[in-house]
Structures are given as C-alpha cells and as structure tokens.
Amino acid sequence: MKKTLISLVFLFGVLSAASAQEKSFDRFYGAYNISFGGAPNANFTTKDFANRSLGVELGYRFTPNFTLFALTTADINLLNCTTTKNFNETGTVGLGAAYAFNIGNNSYIEPVISCATTYLKTDFNYLTPKFEVRWGVNPSSGKGLLSPYVGLGLQYIHPYNNSTTPNMLMSYATIGFKLF
C-alpha cells in the first residue's frame, strides 16, 4: 500500500510539473479523486462488501470535450463488512475515456467509462469496469486552475478467483478535482 501511495504522489507531482510548462502541455490534465462504493444496502449483489479508493488520472484532451486517460488507484476493500470486517489493500491500473457536455459557462456534465485491474499480489485480485457521471465546475481561465467535481456511478467487480468472492455490481460516489 505504501508503494502505491508513493506512486500516486509521484504521478501527481509529474502532472503538476507538466501542467506548468509551455503550450505543448495544454492538452494534458490530471485529476485526484476519492471514491466510496458498495456500502451496505448500496451494493446490488451482496451487502458484505465495501470499497474505498484514492485515485489519480493523467489525461489527454483530443478535443476540448473528449479525453482519454490512464488511471491508478490505491484501494481498500472491506470484505464481510457487516460481520468480521476483514479488509484487503491493493492497487489498480487502467484506462478510461470521458466526454464533457458544457452547461453554460460555469459547469459541465461528463460521462466517464473506465476499466482497471489489480496489479499487486494480494488474496483479492479483480477486474473492475466502471461507468460514472461527473458534474464539475469549469475553471474560469488560464492554466494551473482547479476544477472540482462530484460523481455517481456503477462499478462491476469481477474477481479472478470466483470461488472466494462472487462478481459484484455496486454503486459508488466520487469527489475530486482536475488540475489543468
């Protein structure tokens, strides 16, 4: 978990340095986010699982509205959260795409689709496609500005070993910001 957090901080530092450079980096952006998913009664397939993650995205805007991004997260998965409260720490890496629809000059709605897989050796390894809708505030102008956002989505967790944990579909909420 410590290596994952160090990697996240390193990625964010590289992103901050890149965004401060000349116009060749105008199309790059970064995002930090925190997600809370699958709390009891929010999970569609089992009530005994919850997920918490801290994520970093490094994206490239092909048009002002369409972006592709790489993502990495540090996850804490709470197994049997209504009884024994076992937990598993892991990290994921993946790819995603987003398209922002501007709502006036001040905000946007952005459907996001992504897929990630675990990369650390743990007892619980999985593939996790996600669909999310984010609402955010546009930065006013210039570079180096923050654009906060909130999102709601669905996450499907497909464990590589189904004998210990079933496939799960769960809802989640995200709060984060983009750095331009």
Q: What is the pLDDT of residue 22?
A: 44
Segment 138-164, tens digit of pLDDT = 876 444 478 899 999 998 888 887 666
Question: 38: domain range?
Answer: 2-179
Q: What is the pLDDT of residue 94?
A: 96
Segment 35-78, tens digit of pLDDT = 887 644 444 555 667 788 889 999 998 988 899 999 999 888 87
Q: Are the CB atoms for 54 and 37 separated by under 8 Å?
A: no
Does the pLDDT at position 82 exceed 50? Answer: yes
The CATH number for 108's domain is 2.40.160.20
Q: How many domains does the chain have?
A: 1
Question: What Cα–Cα distance (Å) separates residue 75 from each residue in 62, 92, 129, 142, 177?
Answer: 29, 7, 14, 33, 18
